[in-house]
């Protein structure tokens, strides 16, 4: 590689790779098509490889272009995440953002409070609610510095340490075919409808649990009341870690142990490329606190 590659060149490249057309990519970037073409040719010169096959109908990635596209997207997202964190930590009120779903609010509050009490001279931690189904993305884009994630989760670009495990129960309507049993085996879940959280539906994705157990999408729900209501009306089955049962109204619902499946693991997670000593300190604190509390 004869010259340094600039981040803006990679963003130009990614725009053309997405659009498969220089004119559309230039419009998306707010620049002229000739300027974009020059920038891509400069990038190709730097990497000593042809990245696109220019054709009348558009631009097709070469083998080298496909390889760069697979890597450049992560570089761009990691850079944006780093800048978001730098802006937050360098502002008038620097802080670490620790994200979790509402169901983990007790642990989130405990970890943040105990961390700030133990390290009063360090950058403080602040608890924030995560968007369901988007927690890993919030780590990748810099919205959160650390998150509490339950398995299964998308671990691409994310490192994590195990905090604790919980057994699962399956929630079913009293008239469901599972209701007369004493437990539900994971192999029997295939084809059952399962609620889809609104955030996941809006993002056009399903939680990993759907693929893991062969579930099919059920009603879209916005909160726990709707989730439980979908089960009570027989529109779907549900699933919960055992500790969450205490806050769920079970009128008309049976909670059955799930067998043949690994327990639900809660991890403290952070971006794999993070080098912040504050993030590392919070992670160590979370692991130590979990060990002390669950022993």
Q: What is the CATH number for 57?
A: 1.10.10.10
CA 20 to chain centre: 28
Note whether residue 103 is domain-resident. yes
pLDDT of residue 1: 45
Tokens of 53: 């096959």
Residue 258: count of CB within 10 angstroms of its CB: 23
Greatest mean pLDDT among 87-91, 115-119, 250-254 lies in 115-119
Q: Is it true that the peptide bond before 152 is cis, omega within 30 degrees of 0?
A: yes
pLDDT recorded at residue 226: 94
107 pLDDT more than 80: yes
**Percentage, residues of the chain above pLDDT 70:** 91
103/233 same-domain check:
no
Domain shared by 215 and 146, yes or no? no
Q: Which is nearest to 17 in space by CA: 92, 91, 76?
A: 76
- Confidence at residue 2, expressed as pLDDT on a 0 to 100 scale: 47
| pLDDT value of residue 231 | 96
> Locate tokens 């725009």: which residue?
15
Say if residue 288 is in the same domain as residue 158.
yes
Both 158 and 99 in a single domain? yes
Q: Tokens standing for 69?
A: 């596209």
Average confidence score pLDDT of the chain = 87
Within 8 A by CB and 6+ apart from 171, the residues are 228, 231, 237, 238, 239, 240, 248, 250, 253, 254, 255
Q: Do 159 and 139 touch, CB atoms closer than 8 A?
A: no
Q: Are 153 and 270 in contact (CB under 8 A)?
A: no
1 found inside a domain? no
- 145 and 202 share one domain: no
Instruction: Spell out the residues 6+ positions from residue 3 whose beta carbon is closer than 8 angstroms to its own.
Output: 45, 46
Q: Is 2 among the domain residues?
A: no
- Distance between CA atoms of 267 and 96, rounded to whole angstroms? 17
3-state secondary structure of 222: coil
Instruction: Read off the pTM.
Output: 0.67
The arithmetic mean of pLDDT across residues 67-77, rounded, is 75
Question: Does one domain contain both 237 and 273?
Answer: no
Distance CA 22, CA 182 (A): 61
Q: Say yes or no to pLDDT of 89 above 70.
A: no
pLDDT (mean) for 157-175: 93
Q: Please check whether residues 151 and 204 belong to one and the same domain.
A: no
Query: Does some domain include residue 99?
Result: yes
Residue range of the domain that includes 142: 95-165+264-294
Mean pLDDT over residues 119-139, rounded?
A: 86
Residue 215 pLDDT > 60, yes or no?
Answer: yes
Task: Tell me, yes or no, whether 161 and 114 share the same domain.
Answer: yes
Each residue of 280-293: pLDDT tens digit?
A: 999 999 999 999 98
The predicted structure's pLDDT at residue 87: 62
Q: Do 148 and 274 belong to one domain?
A: yes
Give the model's pLDDT for residue 143.
Answer: 83
Residue 74 lies in a domain: yes
Average pLDDT estimate for 160-173: 94
Least confident span in 92-106, 171-185, 212-226: 92-106
Q: Please determine, for residue 204, whether its predicted confidence score (pLDDT) is greater than 90.
A: no
* HEC-encoded secondary structure of 7-73: HHHHHHHHHHHHHCCHHHHHHHHCCCHHHHHHHHHHHHHHHCCCCEEEECCEEEECHHHHHHHHHHH
Quote the CA–CA distance of 149 and 162 in Å, as a whole number.
10
Q: How many structural domains comprise the chain?
A: 3
Residue 188 lies in a domain: yes
Domain end marker among 40, 62, 87: 87
The answer on pLDDT for 71 being more than 80 is no
29 plus 173 within the same structural domain: no
CATH number, residue 275: 3.40.190.10
pLDDT exceeds cutoff 70 at 163: yes
Final residue in a domain of this structure, among 87, 111, 146: 87
Task: Give percent of the chain with pLDDT exceeding 90.
Answer: 45
Contact partners, residue 228, CB within 8 Å, separation at least 6:
171, 238, 248, 249, 253
pLDDT (mean) for 131-143 = 80
For the stretch 7-59, pLDDT in tens is 788 888 888 998 999 989 888 888 888 889 998 998 888 888 899 998 877 88
């Amino acid at each position: 590689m004869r010259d340094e590659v600039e981040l803006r060149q990679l963003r130009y490249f990614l725009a053309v790779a997405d659009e498969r057309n220089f004119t559309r990519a230039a419009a998306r970037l707010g620049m002229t098509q000739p300027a974009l073409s020059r920038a891509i040719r400069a990038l190709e010169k730097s990497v000593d490889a042809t990245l696109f096959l220019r054709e009348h109908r558009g631009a097709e990635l070469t083998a080298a272009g496909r390889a760069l596209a697979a890597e450049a997207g992560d570089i761009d997202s990691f850079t944006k995440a780093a800048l978001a964190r730098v802006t937050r930590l360098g502002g008038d009120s620097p802080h670490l953002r620790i994200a979790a779903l509402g169901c983990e609010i007790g642990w989130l509050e405990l970890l943040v409070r105990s961390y700030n009490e133990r390290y009063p001279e360090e950058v403080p931690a602040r608890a924030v609610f995560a968007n369901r189904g988007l927690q890993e993305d919030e780590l990748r884009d810099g919205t959160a510095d650390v998150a509490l994630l339950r398995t299964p989760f998308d671990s691409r670009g994310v490192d994590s340490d195990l905090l604790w495990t919980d057994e699962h129960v399956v929630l079913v309507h009293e008239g469901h075919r599972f209701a007369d049993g004493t437990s539900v085996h994971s192999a029997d879940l295939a084809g059952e409808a399962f609620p889809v959280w609104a955030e996941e539906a809006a993002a056009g994705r399903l939680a990993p649990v759907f693929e893991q157990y062969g579930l099919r999408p059920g009603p879209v729900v916005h909160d726990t009341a709707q989730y439980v209501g979908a089960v009570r009306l027989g529109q779907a089955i549900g699933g919960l870690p055992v500790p969450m049962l205490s806050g769920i109204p079970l009128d008309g619902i049976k909670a059955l142990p799930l067998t043949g499946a690994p327990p639900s693991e809660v991890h403290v997670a952070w971006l794999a490329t993070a080098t912040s000593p504050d993030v590392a300190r919070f992670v160590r604190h979370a692991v130590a606190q979990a060990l002390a509390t669950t022993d």
